[in-house]
Amino acid sequence: MGFRILFFLILHCILFSSIASAEAPLKAAFVRDHQLWIKNGSQEIQLTNSGCVSSPQWSYDGQFIAYTKSNKLGESSNLFIYDIKKKENYKPYIVVETSDFKWSPIKNQLAYTSGGVLNVTKMKEGRPQGFENVAVGVNGFDWFPNGKEFIVSSQANLLPTGWGPVQLFRMPIDANLNSNKIKSFYTINTTIPDLFAIYADYFKWSYNGKWVSFIGVPTASWSMDSNTLCVLSEQGEQFQHVGKMLGYSDWVKWAPSSEQLAYISGEGRFFVENKNLKIKEMPTTSKQREYTPKGYVDLDLEWYSPERMIVARAKENKEWEEGPVPTMYTALYLISLKSSEQIQITNPKSNEIDIDPQTVSTYITWVRKKSTEDSRGDVWIKKGVDGEENIWLKNVDSAPVFFKE
C-alpha cells in the first residue's frame, strides 16, 4: 500500500512539473477557430466571437491589437482594433477594407493601404480613430524607423517596349496628397532574368536602420516560382539584389544586432528541393555563406542569437515529379554561424511538422501539426535550446504574434 501511495505521489509531481514548465511569462495574440484570442502568462482570453479574424498585430506599446475580419474565409477583409484597456473591439473608421496595415514604430498610429491609397489614423480620446490620406498609387509600404516617414513603392507601367522601372518614394506622414512633399527615393531598373519586378513589397529594416530589405515581385505566374530579394541603404544610395527566393516575408530576417541578412534562397514553387539558408553581410558584396547541407531543404528560419540561427529542416525529395505534392516533415535545427555546427533541437513524430520558429526572451516557440494542409496546430515552447518541449497553446489557426517589450 505504501509503495502505491509513493508511486502516485511521484506521478503527480512529474505531471505537475510538466504542466508548470509549459507556462511562460509571455504575451501573445493568436487566432483560434477564426476568432481573436490573447494569452498572457497562463491566462487565455477570447476577444471576438463572430466573423473570420486574421493577421493580428500589436501596437507600439501593446495597448491595441489591429486585425482584419471578414464574414467568411476568402472575402475582402475590414480593419478592426481591440483596445486592451477598455476591453473593446472597434472600427477605426466606418469601413476600412485592407489587407496591408502596419503600426508606427514609435507610437500608437496605424498606417494602411486601401484601393491604392496610403492612409494614417488620427488620434481621438487616446486611441487611433479616423484617418488622413498620405499618397495615392501605392503598392507596398513601410514606416521608416523614425516613425515620421514612409518608404513606398508604386507598380511599374507596362509599355510597348515592356515593363518600365519600379519607383520607390520617401514621404512624410503629413504628405496629405501633396506631391511637393513626396520625394523620389530609388528607381529599380529591371532586367530579365537578373532582376525582373513590377513592384516591391515586404520591407524590413536592419537593427540599426541603415539598410532596408524588400522583395521585388514579378508578374503573378512568374512570382510563384521566383522573386528577387533586394537591399537598399537608408539614404537610397547603395542598392544590391541579393538573390532569388519565393515570396514569403517570413523567409527574410535581419540579425538582432548586426548587418547580416538571413533568407531562404532558391527558385521553384515546390518545397521538395532547392531551398537553402543563406547569410548576406552588408555592405560587402563578397560571396554569401550557405548553411543547408546537401540532401536537405530549409523551409523557415529565425535568429536565436547574433551568432546562431534556427531553421525548419526536412530531407529533400528530388524523386517527386507529379501527383500530390509530398509533405515535407520538418524539425527545428540550431546552426552555429561561426563553427557551422548544426544540431536538431525539436523532436516531432514521423508524421508531424515543426514550423514557424520564434524566439521570445529566453524561449523558443514553434507550431507543430500533422501536415501542411492542416488548418490548425499546437504551439510548443521550450526554455533555451536544452529545455523540455511542452504545449503552450492548443488548436491555433496560425503562429501567435508575441508582444515583445
pLDDT in tens, 256-299: 999 999 999 999 999 999 999 999 999 987 889 999 999 999 99
Per-residue pLDDT band for 374 (boundaries 50, 70, 90) equals confident
Q: Which domains does the chain have, with CATH numbers?
A: 33-189 (2.130.10.10)
pLDDT in tens, 77-99: 999 999 999 999 999 999 999 99
How many residues are recorded in the chain?
A: 405
SS3 128: strand
Q: What is the rounded CA–CA span in Å between residue 80 and residue 97?
A: 10
Whole-angstrom CA distances from 151 to 111, 121, 170, 366, 403 are: 12, 17, 5, 31, 24
In this prediction, residue 10 carries a pLDDT of 44
In this prediction, residue 63 carries a pLDDT of 98
- The stretch 329-341 carries a mean pLDDT of 96
Joined together, the cell numbers standing for residue 61 give 506599446
In this prediction, residue 300 carries a pLDDT of 98
pLDDT in tens, 346-359: 999 999 999 999 99
- How many other CB atoms are there within 10 angstroms of residue 214's CB atom? 26
> What are residue 33's phi and psi, to 5 degrees?
50, 40
Which tops the pLDDT comparison, 360 or 193? 360
Q: Does the structure show a pLDDT above 60 at 58?
A: yes
Q: Does the structure show a pLDDT above 80 at 118?
A: yes
Share of the chain above pLDDT 90, in %: 86
- Amino acid at position 84, single letter: I
Q: Does the structure show a pLDDT above 90 at 113?
A: yes
Q: Does the structure show a pLDDT above 50 at 323?
A: yes
Helices (H) and strands (E) in the chain, counts: 2, 34
Per-residue pLDDT band for 22 (boundaries 50, 70, 90) equals low
State the average pLDDT for the chain.
Answer: 93
pLDDT in tens, 163-209: 999 999 999 999 999 999 999 999 999 888 789 999 999 999 999 99
